[in-house]
């Protein structure tokens, strides 16, 4: 008779409840901005510092990707075009870089993608002291693989060799799961596990794939820090098991703590959102729970909140069926 071992559950720390309180307060800020309510928050840490949204797709860069890169109005793109546009945008992850390129080459598609021209244009931008990469993700240079002196030259060469040729889109279109897409991207030089997962989520915003965000998750470095702070002992749970556990108990925890969590028009927190929340709670707890250490032992929150001038006209992937509720 087969004996099935019962997994020992993780043991919660004081930061565990903070995870849910942070989620509720940060989501309140999201809706307060939409409804022009002030003050945005009474929490001094949230008021002073910049934190990403509770739902990843609500963040400014993700919103730009969805509306302007993937679902650009009055534009028709092939699947290969979409993959190129998504990866080109996300490799730099900076709206100003995308708009600079688009202003000079007009429509960014496979047919007009010229790695040498794009490289020249970005080199010219750098010469004027423009920052062409976002600081959110750290991309390795790829020099040892592609042989160019500058990072952007290697990344454009990567797109030429892996995307423009058409092979990558064929493999992704045939993928049977989100994890399979992740593994495909993981095999591309310079991506690594964290970026491969992030890009998988970005691709899944489009029509190229149609997997549930509850299908697969990969914990990044920041999430691992947050997990360590939220639990004194992980038990037999992996980082990914813990993220799934948080997704499973979300409604119960909000109720237990008497928190009114405003979901994304009925969409519950998905695995990617719970993963990202661990990153943000890691930062938040540096001030709220300075006695609790993570893996990195960072003690300060670097980014200060600065209000953006332009309001976001929110658009979510049409397959989520959320956009009809935006006026509500």
The predicted pLDDT at position 323 comes to 62
Last residue of a domain, one of 126, 160, 192: 192
Give the C-alpha separation, 296 to 279, whole Å: 12
Q: Where in the sequence is the domain holding 92, given as residue range(s)? A: 72-192
Whether 47 maps to a domain, the answer reads yes
User: 249 and 223, same structural domain?
Assistant: yes
User: 87 and 186, same structural domain?
Assistant: yes
User: 314 and 232, same structural domain?
Assistant: yes
pTM for the predicted model, two decimal places: 0.94
For residue 99, give both structure tokens: 């708009």
Whether 202 maps to a domain, the answer reads no
The predicted pLDDT at position 28 comes to 98
The predicted pLDDT at position 328 comes to 41
User: For residue 240, what are the CA distances in angstroms to 104, 215, 218, 251, 317?
Assistant: 42, 11, 6, 19, 25
Last residue of a domain, one of 135, 157, 192: 192
The predicted pLDDT at position 164 comes to 92
Taking Cα atoms as reference points, which of 8, 29, 17 lies closest to residue 262?
29
Question: In a structure prediction context, what are the per-residue pLDDT tens digits for the chain, which is 328 residues long?
Answer: 444 556 788 999 999 999 999 999 999 999 999 999 999 999 999 999 999 999 999 999 999 999 999 999 988 999 999 999 999 999 999 999 999 999 999 899 999 999 999 999 999 999 999 999 998 777 788 888 888 889 999 999 999 999 999 889 999 999 999 999 999 999 999 999 999 999 999 999 999 999 999 999 999 999 999 999 999 998 999 999 999 999 999 999 999 999 999 999 999 999 999 999 999 999 999 999 999 888 887 888 888 999 888 889 999 999 999 864 554 4
The predicted pLDDT at position 297 comes to 77
Split into its structural domains, the chain has a count of 2
Whether 77 maps to a domain, the answer reads yes
The predicted pLDDT at position 327 comes to 47
Whether 19 maps to a domain, the answer reads yes
Whether 87 maps to a domain, the answer reads yes
Q: Quote the distance between the C-alpha of residue 150 and its chain's center.
A: 25
Whether 182 maps to a domain, the answer reads yes
User: 182 and 242, same structural domain?
Assistant: no
* 8 Å CB contact between 249 and 304: no
Whether 296 maps to a domain, the answer reads yes
User: 117 and 229, same structural domain?
Assistant: no
The predicted pLDDT at position 112 comes to 93
For residue 316, give both structure tokens: 């979510």
Sign of the CA dihedral running 110, 111, 112, 117: positive
Between helix 239-256 and helix 271-288 the angle, nearest 10°, is: 80
DSSP state of 73: T
The predicted pLDDT at position 325 comes to 56
């Amino acid at each position: 008779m087969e004996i099935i071992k019962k997994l020992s559950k993780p043991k919660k720390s004081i930061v565990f409840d903070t995870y849910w309180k942070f989620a509720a307060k940060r989501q309140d800020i999201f809706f307060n901005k939409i409804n022009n309510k002030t003050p945005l928050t009474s929490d001094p840490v949230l008021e002073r510092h910049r934190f990403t949204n509770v739902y990843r797709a609500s963040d400014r860069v993700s919103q730009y990707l969805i509306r302007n890169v993937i679902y650009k109005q009055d534009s028709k793109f092939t699947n290969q075009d979409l993959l190129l546009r998504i990866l080109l945008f996300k490799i730099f992850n900076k709206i100003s870089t995308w708009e600079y390129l688009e202003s000079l080459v007009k429509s960014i598609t496979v047919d007009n993608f010229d790695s040498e021209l794009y490289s020249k244009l970005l080199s010219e931008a750098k010469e004027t002291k423009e920052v062409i990469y976002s600081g959110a993700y750290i991309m390795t240079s790829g020099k040892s693989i592609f042989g160019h002196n500058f990072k952007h030259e290697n990344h454009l060469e990567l797109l030429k060799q892996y995307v423009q040729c058409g092979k990558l889109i064929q493999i992704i279109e045939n993928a049977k799961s989100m994890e399979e897409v992740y593994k495909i991207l993981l095999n591309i030089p310079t991506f690594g596990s964290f970026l491969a997962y992030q890009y998988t989520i970005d691709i899944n915003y489009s029509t190229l794939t149609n997997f549930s965000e509850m299908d697969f998750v990969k914990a990044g470095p920041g999430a691992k820090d947050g997990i360590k702070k939220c639990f004194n002992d992980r038990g037999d749970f992996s980082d990914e098991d813990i993220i799934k556990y948080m997704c499973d108990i979300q409604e119960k925890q909000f109720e237990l703590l008497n928190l009114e969590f405003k979901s994304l028009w009925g969409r519950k927190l998905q695995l990617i959102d719970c993963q990202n929340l661990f990153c943000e709670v890691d930062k938040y707890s540096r001030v709220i729970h300075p006695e609790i250490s993570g893996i990195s032992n960072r003690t300060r929150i670097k980014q200060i909140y600065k209000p953006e001038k332009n309001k976001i006209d929110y658009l979510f992937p049409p397959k989520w069926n959320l956009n009809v509720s935006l006026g509500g």
